Structures are given as structure tokens and as C-alpha cells.
Amino acid sequence: MEKHKNFKKRQNDLPFINDRIQFPEIRLIDSKGTQVGVVAISEALKEAQNSGLDLVLVSDKSIPPVCRIVDYGKYKFNQEKKAKEAKKKQHNASLKEVKMRYKIEEHDYQVRINQALRFLQASDKVKATITFRGREIQHVNLAIELLQKMAKDLEAVSEVQQSPSRDGKNMVMILTPKKI
């Protein structure tokens, strides 16, 4: 869909309400939420003034643009309230890394599992990295086995997003928390 050519909103402009709406015709929604239909802007403004409310541009992306007759103060308050609620509920999942070598001892492996478990429970992704030094690169199969064991040990709380793959002198696997 193309945006209307005469709709130019600059960042410092005031919101598009009442006389600031510059479209010849709009799709109107009245104060009760009922869709009136496509009407001339002058007719919509008269109806808004008769009801003692404001004509607010809701969406300019549709053709014709959608406007609603509402009390602008309440409308703005509700929009800000919704935005605040959405921001509260949002959690930015970051990528945490757990590094180890393929010749890791059992206790050290358990420590890495516990770290990964803690990250996953905090809704973060986990990147399990196994580093190779020198000729250790010959033992890629042992590293793959270790990463698969780790995925199996954490399968109750995670899913494999990226299966074990070689990345230079590293073997990498990415785990994501399971959706509950």
C-alpha cells in the first residue's frame, strides 16, 4: 500500500487531529466504535464538533485513511498506557555464552550445565562453545558428542536453535528457552 502524498508528519509536528487532517475523504469511526463509512473531511469534522469530541487520525496507511471521533485527551492517555504495558512485558533475550574444551572433567561440565540452566531460566539464549587448540581440531566428533550430551541434559528447559557446527577453531551450538 502506498502512503498518501499529502500526509507529511514531521517529528516536531503536533498530532493529526481536527483541522490538521488534510485528506479529502476518510473512513470514519464514530464515538461508539461503529464504522460510519467513507465521508468527506468536512462532514466528519462537523459530526465531531456536534458531539463535543475530536477527530483523530488513527491510520494513514489504509486507503482512505481511518479517523475516529474520540476525546483526544483520553485517547492519548490510553495509547501511552498501552505502550507502557507493552514495554513492561517485553524481555530482551540476550545471548549468553558457555565456553569449554572437549576434554572437560565431569565436575566442570556440571558447572557449565548449571550456568546454562540459570541463563535459560532467565529467558536468555545460550551459546555453547567448544574451543580447539592445535591438533585438537582432529577430534571434532568428540566435541559434537559433548554438545549433543549438553543438549540432551538441558532438553527439559531448552530447544536447540542451531545444531553443533564448526566455526573456525570453535564448535558452536545455540540453545533457546522452551516456550511455556
β partners of residue 54: 70
The whole-number average pLDDT for the span 38-43 is: 83
pLDDT of residue 10: 45
What is the DSSP pairing of strand 125-131 with strand 66-70? unpaired
pTM given for the model: 0.51
Taking 50 as the threshold, does the pLDDT of residue 129 lie above it? yes
Cell, residue 63: 486507503
Contact 16/61 with Cβ under 8 angstroms? no
Reported as a pLDDT band with limits 50, 70 and 90, residue 87 is confident
What is the DSSP pairing of strand 158-167 with strand 125-131? unpaired
Which domains does the chain possess?
18-88 (3.10.20.80), 95-177 (3.30.110.10)
Taking 70 as the threshold, does the pLDDT of residue 106 lie above it? yes
Give burial (CB, 10 Å; 0-12/13-18/19+) of 91.
exposed
Cβ partners under 8 Å of residue 177, min gap 6? 93, 120, 121, 123, 124, 125, 157, 158
- State the angle between helix axes of 140-153 and 106-121 in degrees (0 to 180), rounded to the nearest 10: 50
Q: What type of residue is 91?
A: H
According to DSSP, residue 17 is labeled B
**Of 118 and 19, which is predicted with more confidence?**
118
Contact 48/28 with Cβ under 8 angstroms? no
According to DSSP, residue 178 is labeled P
Mean pLDDT of the chain: 83
3-state secondary structure of 101: coil
Reported as a pLDDT band with limits 50, 70 and 90, residue 128 is very high
pLDDT tens across 63-86, in order?
A: 888 888 888 888 888 888 888 888
Give the residue among 97, 92, 91, 27 at the shortest CA–CA distance from 55: 27
Cα–Cα distance for residue pair 38/114, rounded to 1 Å: 61
pLDDT of residue 116: 93
